[in-house]
Amino acid sequence: MRIGIDAACWSNQRGYGRFTRGLLNTLLKQDKANEYILFVDPETDKTGEFPADVSRICFDILEAPSKAASSSGNRSLKDMWKASKAVSREHLDLLFYPSVYTYFPVFTKAKKIVVIHDVIAEKYPQLIFNNRKHRFFWDIKVWVANKQADLILTVSEFSKKGIIERFQISENCIRVVAEAPDKVFCQFPGTDLFHETLLRHGMDISTKFILYVGGIAPHKNLATLVKAYSKLINETENKNIKLVLVGDYKKDVFLIDNSLQGLINCLRLKDKIIFTGFIPDEELVCFYNAAVVFVLPSFIEGFGLTAVEAMACGTPVIGSRTTSLPEVVGDAGLFFDPYNPDDLKDCLATILGNDELRNELVCKSIQRAATFSWEKSSMQMLKVFNDFGIK
């Protein structure tokens, strides 16, 4: 088969990009029977690290899809027409979109498979979009994607249920292919890089800290984490614990929670909370390994890849019970009500004050993370391609 891939998310540093790179890098190594073509914009073509033996077609557009599809923008009709034209002339058998985030319509006979990672924008539009116009363009794009797609993919049973309910899609028209941690995320003893990384951010190997990794969008619910942390350090035994927030907070594709810094100042936590900004994976793994616990407090998550990355490093996870995390984390973590800071504070205190439980969760975390791999997911993806390709 001749398979086209929308690779506009390839360089994205968040979940969409990790899914695209992790799944496709592995799939392209495994499958030598089908022919693959990656469709990219000029910016992605310059910044992406692509497999050397796979064809790429670059179409000239005014704005990179990853920027145009953010909460503060929308892709122009002219750019979408250029992308559609570039794809249409290649006479594909199948076209794969790793994320509806960068979707553009294509009018060919090729079968179309679109990944919808979650229904965050549909369930919490007020936390995602700047205004009604941006929400309108998003709704139209997703509606067209659902109409054009021969098959919808998603990343968890939780997301599958939400997509079926929100878009009235038949269960037969949607499949699940899970995300997975990259191999860099694993448990290891302290190294020179380990110590240097912590020192660079004002910590050392003896510093106890709670870790969050992700964006600072309102649906990530960092206010509840900050409030819970404020309550936790009022307890004498936990007064020296730091809170570390990792992520690029200046380039969020969603809205930025501008109230968070005000909350931190109000609670007098400025000297207790560390914002690292974006850090590369070889340093991020040091933070995962050094943290005493990882927290993902979101109101909703389609999968929760950072939680699995943390588990792969042997770090206990505390997650919101209203998300995919109970499904993904299983019995390797604790769960709380994302609207209740006291509930999260109690979970934190439980893990921090119970070494036996923490050691048990460390073992379970590593075992649970090992059930997710890009090799497993890419084989599932290949089966979908072969089942849904040329009949």
The residue-averaged pLDDT of 2-29 equals 91
Decide which of 346 and 51 is more confident.
346
Which residues on neighbouring strands pair with residue 97, listed in sequence order? 114
pLDDT tens digit string along 226-237? Answer: 999 999 999 888
pLDDT tens digit string along 28-56? Answer: 999 989 999 999 888 888 887 888 889 99
Rounded Cα–Cα distance for residues 75 and 121 (Å): 17
User: If we measure between CA atoms, which residue out of 109, 172, 107, 97 comes closest to residue 142?
Assistant: 97
The residue-averaged pLDDT of 149-171 equals 96
Decide if pLDDT at 290 tops 50.
Answer: yes
Residue 68: the pLDDT is 47
Decide if pLDDT at 65 tops 80.
Answer: no
pLDDT-derived band of residue 252, with 50, 70 and 90 as boundaries? Answer: very low
pLDDT tens digit string along 210-219? Answer: 999 998 888 9
The answer to whether domain 2-180+373-388 and domain 192-369 are alike in fold is yes
Burial profile 226-262: b = 16 or more Cβ within 10 angstroms, e = fewer: bbbbbbbbeeeebeebbbbbbbebeebbbbbbeebee
192-369 placed in CATH 3.40.50.1980: no
CA distances from 342 to 173, 224, 250, 272, 349 (A): 41, 9, 29, 19, 10
pTM for the full predicted model: 0.93
What is the chain's mean pLDDT, rounded?
Answer: 90
| DSSP 8-state class, residue 90 | T
Domain extent listing, the chain = 2-180+373-388, 192-369
pLDDT-derived band of residue 391, with 50, 70 and 90 as boundaries? Answer: low
The residue-averaged pLDDT of 97-106 equals 92
Residue 52, classified by CB atoms within 10 Å of its CB into exposed (0-12), middle (13-18) or buried (19+), is: exposed
2-180+373-388 placed in CATH 3.40.50.150: no
pLDDT tens digit string along 298-331? Answer: 999 999 999 999 999 999 999 999 999 999 999 9
pLDDT tens digit string along 360-374? Answer: 999 999 999 999 999
